[in-house]
Structure 1
């Protein structure tokens, strides 16, 4: 960025630095040092004379009172880290992978659809690895982690995000339809975390993707709701089992979120806007969450910022389960 640098004579300089933008009201060493700074990257330290700017070699060039210091350095919490995001070719998974990569991680994503997976990898760039896998299949899970080990060597973060939904009303559901949802959303999560453990060590973080559907009692959603309730219970067991290995396990609980899940399968032909309009009256914040809002909660739980947190949940639902009576449908006109 460009900003104004003033020396003791109140002379204005344009100064470029990729790390911070700053105004120096008083620079005792004067114009010459300020000019030198224009040709090098400056680093800032606090001293008795205010903030001091130094060049690449650490030689102090300018010290003075700083009236404004707005750090612009990009947060890179995951530099050198490796992550797995299952179901990472769309929606919350894709957005989470994108944000992890933006903060320095290398990320493996899984998906069943090769075309969508390839497109996601192309969009995510060189620090992504696409693995086509059906996580219902134990053999496929083993193969996926073999690829991850060969490319990454180890894993620091696992976001078990892959899941499916579908109507399972009483009186109209086959055992196969019901069990398919259980196998992907519950058994698949268990198999994923189990297979990841040999690649994880102290400081590792596992995040499971739950849902507010676990407690809404939504008609026709018995299988999906049961699996998300199961994920919540399983996460606490995982946390208890893995705490002595230094691995944290937490859950993110999304409410309705603007993802393709609302426009496919039994909902094919629906649009996100129409879905949001229909659901908004029951959501206190009167809108669906964005994938970025959920993904940022995942990144927090994956990061060292959450180093003291395990067996916890972050609910990203606009108040749906925490303050339901605040929804527009209950407000007085």
Structure 2
């Protein structure tokens, strides 16, 4: 398998879920992969099961200096970048009546500011004809109670990706977004909700999906491979929903 042979890929939020599944698939397809995450123990643990040419970089997506260092370490080790997958994100819940400045800043710092500044840092080292991917979400297409700030953050990154698509046209760099629906990832356990509430929320989401189930991280990774490879060479400025149809009905 060599759809990404010798391509250099940088993936944020790569120590679990969609990011980790994508890293594994990219490695299988011959890429050299830089995995970043904000917990060293998690990076060390997943490294035990990875095969291929990779490095891990401890980087907190909420800190601009960490995002800058991520690109610096990636290019120092592998040279120029071919694929930049801005996947790190958080989704704490708060109804409109309880939103605080801290809640807003936490989500927008990680979900919006971080990918925008990381792109800025990476552009000088991103090869012409390369690929930038964002993890968006279907939440900015539908209204889910308690996810107002999270939904706004994903709508913001989608809008930014459209502008970036236009700005990078002269370099042939493709910019696309992946919008997952309900996917089996650790993000639900990080919402700050009791386990029974998370489980009830999950059942509610699954019941709305035409396919009647949660998706798997590997199914999103397959989309990330398509968009980053030559198979997606004429896909640009798009947002691909991987959601079992929930956003379409």
Q: Could you tell me the TM-score, scaled by structure 1's length?
A: 0.72
Q: Tell me the distance in 2 between the aligned counterparts of 1:85 and 1:260.
A: 17
- Residue 327 of structure 1 corresponds to none
Residue 199 (structure 2) pairs with residue 239 (structure 1): no
Question: Structure 1 residues 309 and 319 mapped into 2: Cα distance closer, same or farther (>3 Å)?
Answer: same
Q: Tell me the distance in 2 between the aligned counterparts of 1:295 and 1:228.
A: 19
Structure 1 alignment gaps of length 5 or more: 1-74, 325-333
Residue 90 (structure 2) pairs with residue 164 (structure 1): yes
- Residue 225 of structure 1 corresponds to 151
Residue 82 (structure 2) pairs with residue 82 (structure 1): no
Q: What's the offset of the Cα at 1:267?
A: 3.3
Structure 2 alignment gaps of length 5 or more: none
Q: What's the offset of the Cα at 1:167?
A: 1.4
- Residue 61 of structure 2 corresponds to 135
> Residue by residue, what CA displacement relative to the aligned partner does 1:284-320 show, whole Å, maximum 9, x if unpaired?
1111111111110111000011111210121111111
Q: What's the offset of the Cα at 1:198?
A: 1.4
Aligned residues: 249
Q: Select the residue among 81, 93, 96 that pairs with 1:155.
A: 81
* SS of structure 2 residue aligned to 1:76: coil
- Residue 206 of structure 1 corresponds to 132
> Residue by residue, what CA displacement relative to the aligned partner does 1:46-88 show, whole Å, maximum 9, x if unpaired?
xxxxxxxxxxxxxxxxxxxxxxxxxxxxx31011111011000
- Residue 122 of structure 1 corresponds to 48
Question: Structure 1 residues 149 and 270 mapped into 2: Cα distance closer, same or farther (>3 Å)?
Answer: farther
Residue 239 (structure 2) pairs with residue 310 (structure 1): no
**Is the CA contact 1:276–1:287 (under 8 Å) kept in the aligned structure 2?**
no
Residue 22 (structure 2) pairs with residue 109 (structure 1): no
Using CA pairs under 8 Å that are at least 6 residues apart, name the structure with larger relative contact order, 1 or 2: 2
Q: What's the offset of the Cα at 1:276?
A: 4.4
Show structure 1 runs of 4+ deviating over 6 A. 271-274
**Is the CA contact 1:133–1:141 (under 8 Å) kept in the aligned structure 2?**
yes
Q: Could you tell me the TM-score, scaled by structure 2's length?
A: 0.95
> What's the C-alpha RMSD, in Å, of the aligned pairs?
1.6
Task: Answer with 1 or 2: which has the greater Rg.
Answer: 1
